[in-house]
């Protein structure tokens, strides 16, 4: 009976560790260049818009920064990581 429990624990450990390794390979890479560009553009646009136009200018600057940064990042993804670009381009 002891040998059965040891084999059972060994197999259980093997399957648990094996499944975590398989899942680790499927994780996304992190932020795309599109997302980074939108975040940086939004922050920068909010700061510049706030300095130039106050509260309303910050909102306008943030919106323009998000759109501009997202477009620049999208073009970078298209050139440097076409698989990721095609994944978010083909989503509906």
User: pLDDT tens, 15-30?
Assistant: 666 655 544 445 556 8
- The whole-chain average pLDDT of the chain stands at 79
Number of separate domains in the chain: 1
pLDDT the model gives residue 83: 81
- Residue 18 belongs to some domain of the structure: no
User: Residue 50's domain spans which residues?
Assistant: 32-92
pLDDT tens track for 40-61 = 999 998 989 888 888 888 889 9
- Residue 76 belongs to some domain of the structure: yes
- Residue 8 belongs to some domain of the structure: no
Per the structure block, which two tokens stand in for 35?
A: 């997302």
**pTM for the structure as a whole:** 0.61
- Residue 37 belongs to some domain of the structure: yes
- Residue 87 belongs to some domain of the structure: yes
Range 65-74 burial, b when 16+ CB lie within 10 A, else e: bbebbbebbb
- Residue 25 belongs to some domain of the structure: no
Euclidean distance between CA atoms 81 and 31, whole angstroms: 12
Task: Band the pLDDT of 1: cuts 50, 70, 90.
Answer: low
């Amino acid at each position: 009976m002891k040998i059965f429990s040891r084999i059972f624990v060994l197999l259980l450990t093997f399957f648990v560790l094996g499944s975590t390794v398989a899942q680790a390979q499927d994780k996304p890479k992190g932020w795309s260049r599109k997302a980074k560009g939108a975040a940086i553009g939004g922050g920068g646009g909010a700061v510049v818009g706030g300095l130039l136009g106050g509260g309303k200018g910050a909102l306008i600057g943030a919106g323009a920064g998000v759109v501009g940064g997202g477009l620049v990042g999208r073009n970078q993804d298209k050139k440097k990581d076409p698989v990721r670009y095609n994944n978010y381009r083909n989503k509906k």
